[in-house]
């Protein structure tokens, strides 16, 4: 064993919410060998193991985590090949690469496919698990292959796009095979000199009379996210958040007349998008606002962002239980008003697991 493991390490500094108790054991992997050693360390001691990325989509219990927390810090970026049928370049990035810096590099090198995902905090390795998406793009549209350590076979494997089981904020990594794989590297199939994706309403409006470049779209996304408090800026209170705290709910189309009746609005005024199988995707932020929550709403030491109702922020001294209290207040209000139950997007780490809203 060459890796070093520390005891009782506070986890709050490793999260964008700045909330959470200590990890019983903590280690940082700089290589694939380190990952295997960390798994062996946890297995030999019968410890639960949690893989930590940038901590931007995480809510840690006040009591912390009684197992092993492994922060994956593998680096390295490069073009490793070409997808012959499509002509796309295969760009590889280590799981520990900061996501936004990687997106910026692909845009600078005029590779299309990730430009709308600018400004999202966290690391590359976390993007396949949640099928990270924003402004009309999801990583599932560009992921070519994921290299990961299989904790079942104790060997590295390579999973193609179809094997990842991608869906909205969903993959095998956070569902059927949760806790099985530790991502070490991700390959993206990107279009050299490709046109940017301008399909989301905010971007269409921004470029109504302009043909934007990839750089134009990246800058526009960063500007829009900043207006909504969805970019981490040191010293900005709204940055102490986990980004979007609730998933946009998918409901049966029959929910639309129920919501319209509750608000005495025509159905066409309810923001929604087709989701297949007679279902629609609704906007969680809109539902939260219509349930009576305003931007800046405060409950003790936590608040709804002053810029976006989808984010819960730590106003300075919050604990996990404070976040959960506000979360449950929002979930209950939306459910009572519209019959829609919102689901929490950030991962919960710790025991016991508070079930409401997850």
| pLDDT above 70: residue 358 | no
Q: Comparing 77-227 with 237-349, is the CATH topology the same?
A: no
Q: pLDDT by residue (tens digit) across 286-314?
A: 999 999 999 999 999 999 999 889 999 99
User: Is the Cβ–Cβ distance between 16 and 121 less than 8 Å?
Assistant: yes
The pLDDT confidence band at residue 234, using thresholds 50, 70 and 90, is low
**Cα(308)–Cα(66) distance, rounded to whole angstroms?**
34
Whole-model pTM?
0.86
Query: Is pLDDT of 112 > 60?
Result: yes
C-alpha span between 146 and 163 (Å, rounded) = 9
Question: How does residue 243 score in pLDDT terms, banded at 50, 70 and 90?
Answer: confident
User: What does CATH list as the number for 6-72?
Assistant: 3.30.43.10
Return the axis-axis angle of helices 214-227 and 99-108, rounded to nearest 10°.
150
Percent of the chain exceeding pLDDT 70 equals 96
The H-assigned helical ranges of 83-213 are 99-108, 127-130, 201-206
pLDDT at 14: 95
Please determine, for residue 42, whether its predicted confidence score (pLDDT) is greater than 80.
yes
CATH of 237-349, one of 3.20.20.140, 3.90.78.10, 2.40.50.100, 3.40.47.10: 3.90.78.10
Domain boundaries defined on the chain: 6-72, 77-227, 237-349
Sign of torsion, CA 337 343 349 352?
positive
Instruction: Report d(CA 281, CA 273) in Å as an integer.
Output: 5
Q: Is the model's pLDDT at 263 over the cut of 80?
A: yes
Judged against a pLDDT cut of 70, whether residue 354 lies above it is answered with no
**357 pLDDT more than 70:** no
Is the predicted pLDDT of residue 188 greater than 70, yes or no?
yes
Of 61, 142, 244, 305, the active-site residue reads 244
Q: Is 237 a catalytic residue?
A: no
pLDDT at 235 over 70: no
Tokens of 119: 């400004």
Please tell me the predicted confidence (pLDDT) of residue 277.
87
Q: Report how far residue 224's alpha carbon sits from residue 106's, in angstroms, rounded to the nearest whole number.
A: 20
Residue pLDDT, tens place only, 197-209:
998 888 998 898 8
Residue 31 has pLDDT above 80, yes or no: yes
Question: CA–CA distance from 95 to each of 121, 125, 269 (Å)?
Answer: 13, 4, 41
**Residue 75 CB neighbour total at 10 angstroms:** 14
Least confidently predicted of 170-174, 176-180, 238-242, 299-303: 238-242
E strands, 135-269, in order: 137-138, 143-150, 155-160, 181-192, 250-252
Return mean pLDDT, the chain: 93
Q: What is the Cα–Cα distance from 272 to 215, expressed in whole angstroms?
A: 29
Angle formed by the axes of helices 320-338 and 255-263, to 10°?
A: 90
The residue behind tokens 């070519």 is 144
- Cβ atoms 251, 340 nearer than 8 A: yes
- Please identify, in words, the CATH class of the domain defined by 77-227: alpha beta
Residue 51 Cα distances to 24, 111, 261, angstroms? 14, 29, 45
Q: What is the mean pLDDT of residues 123-136?
A: 93
Q: Which is catalytic among the residues 115, 138, 177, 345?
A: 345
Instruction: Tell me if residue 46 is catalytic.
Output: no
Residue 69 reports pLDDT greater than 60: yes
Reported as a single tens digit per residue, the pLDDT across 82-91 is 988 899 999 9
For the cut 70, the answer to whether the pLDDT of residue 355 exceeds it is no
Q: For the chain, what percent of residues have pLDDT higher than 90? A: 82
Query: Which candidate in 24, 75, 169, 337 is catalytic?
Result: 169
**Known catalytic residue at 37:** no
71-85, 158-172, 228-242, 342-356, range with the lowest pLDDT: 228-242
């Amino acid at each position: 064993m060459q890796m070093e493991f520390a005891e009782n390490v506070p986890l709050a500094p490793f999260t964008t919410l700045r909330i959470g108790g200590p990890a019983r054991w903590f280690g940082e992997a700089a290589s694939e060998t380190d990952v295997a050693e960390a798994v062996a360390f946890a297995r030999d001691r019968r410890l639960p193991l949690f893989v930590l990325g940038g901590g931007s989509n995480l809510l840690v219990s006040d009591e912390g985590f009684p197992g092993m927390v492994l922060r994956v810090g593998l680096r390295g970026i490069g073009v490793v090949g070409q997808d012959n049928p499509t002509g796309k370049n295969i760009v590889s990035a280590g799981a520990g690469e900061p996501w936004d810096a990687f997106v910026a590099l692909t845009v600078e090198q005029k590779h299309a496919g990730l430009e709308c995902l600018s400004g999202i905090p966290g690391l590359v390795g976390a993007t396949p698990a949640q099928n990270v998406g924003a402004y009309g793009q999801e990583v599932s549209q560009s992921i070519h292959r994921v290299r990961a350590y299989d904790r079942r076979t104790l060997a590295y494997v390579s999973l193609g796009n179809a094997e990842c089981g991608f869906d909205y904020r969903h993959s095998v990594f956070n569902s059927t095979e949760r806790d099985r794989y530790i991502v070490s590297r991700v390959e993206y199939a990107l279009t050299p000199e490709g046109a940017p994706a301008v399909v989301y309403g905010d971007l269409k409006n921004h470029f109504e009379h302009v043909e934007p470049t990839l750089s134009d779209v990246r800058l526009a996304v960063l500007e829009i996210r900043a207006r909504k408090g969805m970019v981490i800026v040191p010293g900005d209170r709204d940055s102490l958040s986990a980004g979007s705290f609730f998933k946009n709910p998918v409901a049966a189309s029959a929910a639309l007349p129920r919501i319209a009746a509750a608000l005495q609005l025509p159905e066409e005024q309810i923001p929604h998008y087709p989701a297949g199988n007679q279902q629609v995707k609704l906007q969680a932020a809109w539902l939260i606002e219509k349930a009576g929550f305003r931007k800046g709403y405060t409950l003790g030491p936590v608040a709804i962002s002053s810029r976006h109702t989808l984010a819960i922020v730590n106003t300075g001294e919050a604990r996990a239980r404070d976040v959960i209290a506000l979360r449950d207040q929002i979930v209950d209000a939306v459910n009572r008003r519209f019959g829609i139950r919102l689901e929490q997007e950030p991962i919960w780490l710790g025991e016991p697991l508070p079930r409401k809203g997850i």
